[in-house]
Amino acid sequence: METIQQRLDQVLHQIHSTESNYNRPPGSVTLLAVSKTWPLEDILQASAAGQTCFGENYVQEAVSKIDACPTKLEWHFIGRIQSNKSRDIATRFDWVHSVDSLKLARRLSEQRPKNLAPLNICLQVNISDEQSKSGLSPDTVIALARQVAELPNVKLRGLMAIPAASQDFEQQRAVFRQVRMLQQELIEQGLALDTLSMGMSADMAAAIAEGATIVRVGTAIFGQRRAQLA
Ligand SMILES: *Cc1c(COP(=O)(O)O)cnc(C)c1O
């Protein structure tokens, strides 16, 4: 059986070769290791192998790992946000990828401690997945992005997307391309955005081909999760 270190090496190798195949500058894609459901020991193994950014989906689970973690890591919240949990997110995380309302962005800005750097946030857009209720429709993103960009204690970095699963590489690319074009539109409106959070274990290459700057990878590093929590 392969170790976390070996799988991490393989994922990094795949990221680097995909960057080069699609003329992306070397190092332009950051790997976010999605550690939801996995114990702190697994995170520390990945950390010992050089991984610094970790993504979590469940606030309570994440906070207990963050509290117990002996080293300084960068924590990204990527799950659905219940408003009664926003304070934990605003105080414990460096990034939030799953912001989908002005109300939530305002709460995070208000709750972000002033002695910390602004909380980095991405707006989650729902491009292809009509089944899922999370994420903003593309036509509401522009107006919202302008308002979020004005908030004092958060820093709007870009867009995040979780497309409906597809096995077809060109179809995966087509959806990611729409996210990139929406981001381009926001940049043309004057917003300084540098982040496209898109691509998971199964569609990472298509996302990198279309400009992803953060890929969120769990299974390919830590293995198959036992329960597929929401
Ligand atoms: C679980 C999760 C991932 C990682 O998915 P894998 O298929 O395990 O790589 C990425 N992004 C989000 C938002 C997730 O919830």
Q: Residue 102 is encoded by which pair of tokens?
A: 């002005």
Cα–Cα distance, 215 to 201 (Å, whole number):
9
Q: Looking at this protein, which amino acid is placed at residue 128? A: S
CA of 115 to the centre of ligand 1 (A): 31
CA of 34 to the centre of ligand 1 (A): 6
Q: Decide if 182 contacts 159 (C-beta within 8 A).
A: yes
Domains and CATH numbers, the chain: 4-222 (3.20.20.10)
Q: Decide if 45 contacts 4 (C-beta within 8 A).
A: yes
- As for ligand 1, residues whose beta carbon falls within 6 Å of it are 34, 36, 57, 78, 162, 200-202, 216-220
Q: Looking at this protein, which amino acid is placed at residue 7? A: R
CA atoms within 13 A on the CB side of 70: 4
- The pLDDT of residue 131 is 73
Q: Decide if 31 contacts 11 (C-beta within 8 A).
A: yes
Q: Decide if 173 contacts 211 (C-beta within 8 A).
A: no
Tell me: pLDDT of 176 over 60. Answer: yes
Any idea which of 5-9, 10-14, 81-85, 95-99 has the lowest mean pLDDT?
Answer: 81-85
pLDDT (tens digit, 9 = 90+) per residue, 108-158? Answer: 999 999 999 999 999 999 988 677 778 999 999 999 999 999 999 999 999
Q: Give the global pTM.
A: 0.96
pLDDT confidence bin for 99, thresholds 50/70/90: very high
Give the mean model confidence (pLDDT) for residues 29-46.
Answer: 98
Q: Looking at this protein, which amino acid is placed at residue 96? A: V
Tell me: pLDDT of 228 over 60. Answer: no
